[in-house]
Amino acid sequence: MTGKDLPFHHRKHDEEVLPHATKKTMADHLRKYESLFTLTPQRMRMIVDAFEETLDKGLQKFGEVVPMIPTYVFGWPKGSETGSYLALDLGGTNLRVCLVMLQGDGKFEITQTKYRLSEEQKQEEGELLFDFCAKCLKTFVDSYLADFDLQGAAIPLGFTFSYPCEQERIDHGKLIRWTKGFGNLNVEGHDVAAMFRHSLEKFEVPIQLTSLINDTTGTLIASHYVNPRTRIGVIFGTGCNAAYMEKIGNIPKIKNLGLPDDGEMAINCEWGAFDSFTHEHLPRTKYDIDIDQSSNKPDEQAFEKLISGRYLGEIFRLVVCEMIDDGSIFLGQNTYKLEKPYVLETAFLSLMEADPTDELLTVVGIFTHFYGLETTLAERQFFRALARLIGTRAARLSACGIAAIVSKMGYLNEGCDVAADGSLYSKYPGFPERVHQGLVDIFGPKGQNIRTVHAEDGSGVGSAIIAAMTNERREAGIFPNC
Ligand code: BGC
């Protein structure tokens, strides 16, 4: 909806009840936020150019802001990988344990258990977090694998650890920095695979950690297993990031390993860090800056903070709080419930945008039920339009990231599939369509050659496939030190 579509808001009735409300109409407010949150195609193209340069830089040397992490996942799966593998997935919100049975021919079966992580668990001593992972795994193994005849062998496990880790080989990963609000102590700078192995030993879990991967790498590989047109894997969820397959010869920073130049390796971009610290390229509003500065990692994950599900609800809340402060809305009502950081979840933005009723009854429900606030129809229309602005900006910035990889790899003419997953991509109304529109705005009609496709379960199935690929590679004695 644009400002023009908004019905003019006569505040007659409200003015009687709320004599201090400003005269400014909701449509006027909306126009202001439209100009703050709208990204023109020209601006998007500028972002894409800077993004592409940053991706190249990250491949040159270690320690760059966007670290372009070599994953030691060599090339695409064959689709014929088989066997049973465990996968442990530590994402942004849940811990998941999966048993994946790869049946070859692009087919699989999966059994899984999910645990929600509490806010305390995300901040406690790192060792406790890995102990928790090991205990959940043990419970799972005891209940689902008790009847398996393991013949003394440890079960292979793929660990999906979706935070930036610098890897020296596939079963190693030094955490560069926590993202997504995690802050567990004594993990940054340490090898998380070693920490997890230590916990597995402590609780005597009969598991062999085969590979440590990122959710984007898992998404890339799992989707390619079933759809070989896949070239890029992206996650738009609590965090955001992408992975793609690169020629080893184009990764100068690992030249010393003596790997064949014409071989291929997946790169975990960690693009959420784009424009961190310098803040030169992205159009940040004062709400974005506020979120950044009051986060546990100021100046970091600059791109992610404008896009991911962890932050969109909070951006919305900050705009609404500003309007409360300047007396534009909720005059005379008690707004304290809405004044607490992060109380407004991105899922509410999805619900507001999807509200099918003329009266916007879902929006009524959200504001009365969760925050004890009465709204007028004009306010509700404004809230929905504001959600749309914030959600659309996130989708268009996401398109910029995808476009940077497409352009860098020369995929535009031939076209390719981009495997996408995460709550924003799969649950936010219209998000995929807005990404596609963004790609067309950047590339013109050829942008339609780039399709995003809802991905297979990368963190579970992808992790299992990569564990299988790694086992096969090791058994064949290929790159044994990787
Ligand atoms: C992490 C990435 C991850 C992404 C999506 C980001 O915060 O740094 O490793 O892939 O979230 O889960």
The reported pLDDT for the residue numbered 3 is 37
The reported pLDDT for the residue numbered 374 is 95
d(CA 167, CA 32): 45
Mapping DSSP to helix (H, G, I), strand (E, B) and coil, where does residue 196 land? helix
Give every CB contact of residue 67 below 8 A, 6+ residues apart in sequence.
58, 164, 166, 176, 270, 273
Mapping DSSP to helix (H, G, I), strand (E, B) and coil, where does residue 414 land? coil
CA 240 to centroid of ligand 1, rounded, Å: 5
- Secondary structure tally for the chain: helices H, strands E: 15, 13
CA 162 to centroid of ligand 1, rounded, Å: 5
Rounded to the nearest 10°, the torsion over CA 390, 396, 402, 406 is -170
Per-residue pLDDT of the chain (482 residues; tens, 9 = 90+): 333 333 333 444 444 454 334 446 898 999 999 999 999 999 999 999 999 999 999 999 999 999 999 999 999 999 889 899 999 999 888 999 999 999 988 889 999 999 999 999 999 999 999 999 999 999 999 988 876 665 667 789 999 999 999 999 999 999 999 999 999 999 999 999 999 999 999 999 989 999 999 999 999 999 999 999 999 999 999 999 999 999 999 999 999 999 999 999 999 999 999 999 999 999 999 999 999 999 999 999 999 999 999 999 999 999 999 999 999 999 999 999 999 999 999 999 999 999 999 999 999 999 999 999 999 999 999 999 999 999 999 999 999 999 999 999 999 999 999 999 999 999 999 999 999 999 999 999 999 999 999 997 889 999 999 999 999 999 999 999 99
The reported pLDDT for the residue numbered 17 is 52
d(CA 440, CA 450): 9
Q: Which amino acid is at 284?
A: R
In angstroms, the Cα distances linking 118 to 179, 199, 309 are: 16, 20, 17
In angstroms, the Cα distances linking 116 to 96, 121, 229, 239, 340 are: 9, 10, 34, 16, 22
Contact 385, 1 (CB under 8 A): yes
The reported pLDDT for the residue numbered 149 is 60
Give the residue among 442, 419, 444, 416 at the shortest CA–CA distance from 432: 419
Give the residue among 256, 218, 268 at the shortest CA–CA distance from 70: 268
**Which atom of ligand 1 lies closest to the CA of 92?**
12
Neighbours of 241 (CB within 10 A): 30
Tokens representing residue 71 in the block? 């994953």
The reported pLDDT for the residue numbered 270 is 98
The reported pLDDT for the residue numbered 1 is 37
Contact 65, 273 (CB under 8 A): yes
The reported pLDDT for the residue numbered 150 is 59
CA 237 to centroid of ligand 1, rounded, Å: 8
Alpha carbon nearest to ligand 1 atom 8, residue:
163
Mapping DSSP to helix (H, G, I), strand (E, B) and coil, where does residue 148 land? coil
The reported pLDDT for the residue numbered 107 is 87
Helices (H), 271-376: 286-293, 302-307, 309-325, 346-354, 361-371
Q: Ligand 1 — pocket residues by CB below 6 A? A: 91-92, 162-164, 179-180, 214-216, 235, 237, 239-241, 270, 272, 304
The reported pLDDT for the residue numbered 154 is 77
The reported pLDDT for the residue numbered 443 is 98
The reported pLDDT for the residue numbered 92 is 81
d(CA 294, CA 316): 16
Q: Which residues participate in catalysis according to the annotation? A: 162, 177, 215
The reported pLDDT for the residue numbered 7 is 38
Contact 243, 217 (CB under 8 A): yes
Mutate to test the pocket of ligand 1, among 66, 68, 93, 180 (most ligand atoms within 8 A of CB): 180
Q: Which amino acid is at 65?
A: V
